[in-house]
Amino acid sequence: MSDAVSVSDSVSGAHVPTTRKQIVVGVGGGIAAYKSCALIRSFTEAGHHVRVVPTESALQFVGKATFEALSGNPVQTGVFADVPQVPHVRLGQEADLVVIAPATADLMARAASGRADDLLTGTLLTARCPVLFAPAMHTEMWEHPATVANVATLRSYGAIVLEPASGRLTGKDTGAGRLPEPEEIAGLAALLLERRDALPRDLEGKRVVVSAGGTREPLDPVRFLGNRSSGKQGYAIARLAAQRGADVVLVSGYTAGISEPAAVTTVHVRTAQEMQAVIDREAAQCDAVVMAAAVADFRPTTLVGSKIKKGDGEPDSIELTKNPDILAGIVQARRDGAVAPETVIVGFAAETGDEDGDVLTYARAKLARKGCDLLVVNAVGDGKAFEVDHNDGWLLSADGSEVALEHGSKSLLASRVLDAVSGSLK
Ligand code: CTP
């Protein structure tokens, strides 16, 4: 049920062709129901046709009029409205994607046991498209064996049940059970529309370390050497790895203000040396390391304690010192035994190519020089890769295989990289 539309790219503002999809947003009766409004808005702004199906108790938190205004479509909760249209069958059959946000413990219990006592559960039984549950509840409810069993049942039926975020819950308590941010749910939903098999649980029990963003090398208290990395690609890998079941540590340099992914331990660092210290520590006990960060190759040799002023005594030039190559260091540590021999090591290469060689020629040389197992190669320049939401490239393996990565979202590229990581894990 799709037709072509043109929507505005949220980052570049350019109009990009996309496909209008039918999305059902199911809303469970929890306090996080208010966040579904931002999710609905992001789907309609992306040009999709949205039908909101709340439970009766969701309407205790957000009024029907709000859902109707945001989606531009009528809203009902039961199966006895609009009967000639058989909505409990039609909505599910026609949907390209069903997203339940928030998915409460009760709603997941009803879905897991195949109940069809309202329009939303009826829709879930008739949907054959990807179904994404974004749980939100108190930690005790999330960890209760009944909920754990219901989540496992839903996953065994092919549904995707996201890991919730940790943090402040309804009251003063904190813990796992927060709804992931609407932009994160929207991103994962968009990925499922690009690739419905993008979120398998193939990394359960694995520990993955991901670096992202750019390092900043200070010159004085107000100036630094930095780069244009937005961190989007590394964050997409960390976010997806967690949702594929991995225990993820994200070592983040500076980014374009991306929010921390749900169910990921994020460690913020500033300089290459700080990043190296954290990566070295984490790499010693993990299954895969993905170095997506843009690490500054050089730092000012001297850090001046107060702001450098123009005039007498101003420096003519800035002396630089080479930073450690973190990726090469992990490969060396694996050779030396400080990192386990089966740890999969992934590097990234942003290349422009020049008169001496094209992007792939440089990338092959880099893979050999760095000694990693996989190298993700992006062609950069001309508005490609940096600060935008789309990416493409190649995936080179130490075994000599070279796979082209199709143009798509950074989440799509992340899913391809994780397929390769998962395939390489012992
Ligand atoms: N990298 C690293 N430490 C550095 C520089 C880069 O770990 N000091 C990692 C990056 O995270 C990336 C890979 O090495 O995974 C390649 O980064 P890139 O900047 O393309 O490579 P360089 O070794 O700096 O090579 P170039 O001469 O092309 O800049």
User: How far from the centroid of its chain's Cα atoms is residue 162's Cα?
Assistant: 12
Q: Is residue 177 within 8 Å of residue 136, measured between CB atoms? A: yes
Residue minimizing CA distance to atom 23 of ligand 1:
325
Q: How far is the CA of 378 from the centre of ligand 1 (A)?
A: 13
Q: Tell me which amino acid residue 414 is.
A: A
Ligand 1 neighbours by CB, cut-off 6 Å = 272, 291, 293, 295, 297, 323, 325-327, 347-350
Give Cβ neighbours of residue 131 (< 8 Å, ≥ 6 apart). Answer: 97, 98, 100, 124, 158, 159, 160
Q: How far is the CA of 426 from the centre of ligand 1 (A)?
A: 26
> Domain-by-domain residue ranges, the chain?
3-194, 207-307+318-424
User: What is residue 301's predicted lDDT score, i.e. its pLDDT?
Assistant: 98
User: What is residue 15's predicted lDDT score, i.e. its pLDDT?
Assistant: 39
For the chain, what percentages of helix, strand and coil (3-state, to nearest 5) are there? 35, 30, 40
Termini Cα distance of the chain? 41
Q: Tell me which amino acid residue 219 is.
A: L
Pocket test for ligand 1, best of 251, 295, 356, 380 (most atoms within 8 A of CB): 295
Q: Is residue 328 within 8 Å of residue 371, measured between CB atoms? A: yes
Which atom of ligand 1 sits closest to the CA of residue 328?
7
User: What is residue 13's predicted lDDT score, i.e. its pLDDT?
Assistant: 36
Domain 3-194 and domain 207-307+318-424 have a common topology: yes
User: What is residue 171's predicted lDDT score, i.e. its pLDDT?
Assistant: 76
Q: Is residue 119 within 8 Å of residue 85, measured between CB atoms? A: no
Rounded Cα–Cα distance for residues 360 and 136 (Å): 45
Across 111-153, the runs of DSSP E, i.e. the strands, are 131-135
Q: Which fold has domain 3-194?
A: Rossmann fold (3.40.50)
Whole-structure pTM over 0.85, yes or no? yes
CB neighbours (10 Å) of residue 198?
Answer: 22
User: What is residue 300's predicted lDDT score, i.e. its pLDDT?
Assistant: 98
Rounded Cα–Cα distance for residues 296 and 322 (Å): 9
The verdict on whether 378 is a catalytic residue reads no
Which atom of ligand 1 sits closest to the CA of residue 279?
7
170 HSE (CA, 13 A, CB side): 10
Spans of the chain, pLDDT less than 50: 6-17
Strand, coil or helix: 77: coil
Which atom of ligand 1 sits closest to the CA of residue 324?
8
* Annotated catalytic residue within 73, 150, 227, 323: 227
Rounded Cα–Cα distance for residues 315 and 328 (Å): 33
Q: Which CATH architecture has domain 207-307+318-424?
A: 3-Layer(aba) Sandwich (3.40)
Q: How far is the CA of 295 from the centre of ligand 1 (A)?
A: 6
User: What is residue 16's predicted lDDT score, i.e. its pLDDT?
Assistant: 41
Rounded Cα–Cα distance for residues 308 and 313 (Å): 9
